[in-house]
Amino acid sequence: MRVTVCDVGPRDGLQNEPDTLPPEGRAELVNRLSAARLPRIEAASFVRPDAVPQMAGAEDVVGAIERREGTEYSGLALNVKGYERLVATGLDRVNFTLAASESFSRRNANQSMAEARAAAAEVIGRSVLPVTITISVAFGCPFEGKVDPGVVTELAAEFDSAEIVLADTIGVATPRHVGALVERTRAPGVHLHNTRNTGYANAVAALAAGATLFDASCAGLGGCPYAPRATGNIATEDLVYLFEGDGIETGVDLDALIAISKWLEGVLGRRLEGQVYRAGAWAG
């Protein structure tokens, strides 16, 4: 059994870090991750630099990537303009994100859900690249609380010509809910945060329910814009350790990944959230 791990550290991770890395620093992270044989890396975000200064210079990040065969490089867009910028850079995949709640859509992307859905349909219709649709706040919203699984299921069905990822954007989901929603929507992907320490249990539940695509960030980079003291995405190397130990192939070089997280600790000047890079891989 094999799964695809997508490292979102250069995007979701660094976007939510207090320190801003220049484009060349973010490209270096992408290049180190591809050398660790990550099958997919979310390299950049094509949002307004005044809205998200940590992601400014997305074109420069992509320009400094040393392409490796076997790694698919994706970028994030929230609207058609972002998609157009992304396509012009030569990335391999579009990750278009839309929210499952009205308040989050307006706060995060400055558009209504109806506008976001229209933009997603336009991107899918026009794109020459494969498209992922990430449904953010699929389990819970910081403004509206629990999100109706029926709404998420409808969104997943509406965009089923694309690859669907269910995102626990603020890290509130628990395993049985994750498993049930993966089963109901038949979404191949999940994007999990470890904000409340349920991220890895959620990944195991998603796997059991049929998910084959897992977002994670090296060293557990990132945070949550709605909970300033919270942790970020599940850590890629912790997820790889967990899966490989259970006989689920990832194709990722765990030792190389651990070395990246140690390097990142030096770059960012603090201990990071991942546990396996500190404990070390156990050869068993």
Active site residues: 224
Strand partners, 193: 233
- Give, in degrees to the nearest 5, the angle at Cα 94 between 90 and 97: 150
Q: Is 237 in the site for Mg ion (CB under 5 A)?
A: no
Q: Is 217 helix (H, G, I), strand (E, B) or coil?
A: strand
The size of the interface with Mg ion (CB under 5 A), counted in residues, is 1
- Taking the least distance from each CB to Mg ion, the nearer of 97 and 256 is 97
Q: State the minimum distance, in angstroms, from the CB of residue 227 to Mg ion.
A: 12
Q: State the minimum distance, in angstroms, from the CB of residue 12 to Mg ion.
A: 4
CA distance 157 to 164: 9
AA identity, residue 261: S
Nearest to 262 by CA among 247, 242, 281, 244: 281
Residue nearest to Mg ion (CB): 12
CA distance 64 to 27: 6
219 φ/ψ sector (left φ>0, alpha ψ -120 to 50, else beta): left
Q: State the minimum distance, in angstroms, from the CB of residue 69 to Mg ion.
A: 28
Q: State the minimum distance, in angstroms, from the CB of residue 128 to Mg ion.
A: 26
AA identity, residue 54: Q
Residues in 7-66 at the binding interface with Mg ion, rule: CB under 5 A:
12
- Taking the least distance from each CB to Mg ion, the nearer of 53 and 90 is 53
Which range in 4-12, 40-48, 58-66, 271-279 contacts Mg ion by CB under 5 A?
Answer: 4-12
The token pair that represents 27 in the structure block: 């490209």
- Taking the least distance from each CB to Mg ion, the nearer of 125 and 152 is 152
- Taking the least distance from each CB to Mg ion, the nearer of 209 and 221 is 221
Q: Where along the sequence are the contacts to Mg ion (CB under 5 A)?
A: 12
